[in-house]
């Protein structure tokens, strides 16, 4: 596992162990006084048992986000082995997390690309994308960072 992937898993694990999590529907973290608006834009593509996920995290502001963790959950089991992008880690049978890196005010983060092999070759896969951790910022607009995309095994890209 790469160093960045380990950091993502450690951050996510610490949040769970410490009981940190959204304080309510606004998504504020305890002690947070900064407000940001994290969003994800990208596409998913399913072909012959392989799922491609490509996305760009974005921050509509007003505060900077030093780092965040995006979670990708699938309706199908992942294959046993993967070569994941730097800063990404598999955290379950159907789940991968990736750190976004710094998200400047009204700016974009690094591109995140995943090529995920699936245990079987399903006709379709539901892909859920959301923020697991947002660097301690308050995010009142959760609609642009929570996505559900149904990808059919046609090789066609589906945008979110």
| Each residue's pLDDT tens digit, 99-126 | 999 999 999 999 999 999 999 999 999 9
Label residues 69-100 b or e (16+ Cβ within 10 Å = b). Answer: bbbbbbebebeeeeebbebbbbbeebebbbbb
Q: Mind giving me the DSSP string for 86-109?
A: TTEEEEETTEEEEE---B-TTEE-
Are the beta carbons of 125 and 156 closer than 8 angstroms?
no
Are the beta carbons of 69 and 133 closer than 8 angstroms?
yes
Entry pTM: 0.79
Q: In order of start, what are the domains of the chain with their CATH numbers? A: 3-13+36-154 (2.60.40.10)
Q: Which helix (H) or strand (E) holds 17?
A: helix 3-17
Q: What is the pLDDT of residue 6?
A: 45
pLDDT tens across the length of the chain (160 residues):
444 444 444 444 434 433 334 333 344 444 456 899 999 999 999 999 999 999 999 999 899 999 999 999 999 999 998 889 899 999 999 999 999 999 999 999 999 999 999 999 999 999 999 999 988 889 988 889 999 999 999 999 999 9
- pLDDT tens digit string along 81-96? 888 989 999 999 999 9
């Amino acid at each position: 596992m790469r160093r960045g992937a380990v950091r993502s898993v450690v951050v996510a694990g610490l949040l769970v162990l410490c009981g940190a999590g959204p304080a309510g529907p606004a998504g504020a973290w305890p002690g947070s006084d900064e407000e940001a608006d994290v969003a994800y834009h990208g596409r998913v593509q399913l072909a012959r048992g392989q799922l491609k996920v490509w996305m760009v995290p974005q921050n509509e502001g007003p505060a900077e986000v030093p780092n965040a963790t995006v979670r990708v959950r699938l309706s199908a089991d992942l294959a046993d082995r993967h070569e994941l992008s730097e800063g990404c880690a598999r955290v379950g049978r159907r789940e991968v997390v990736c750190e976004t890196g710094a998200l400047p005010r009204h700016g974009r983060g690094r591109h995140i690309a995943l090529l995920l092999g699936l245990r079987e070759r399903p006709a379709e896969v539901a892909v859920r994308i959301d923020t697991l951790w947002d660097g301690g910022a308050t995010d009142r607009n959760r609609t642009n960072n929570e996505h559900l995309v149904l990808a059919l095994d046609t090789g066609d890209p589906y945008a979110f």
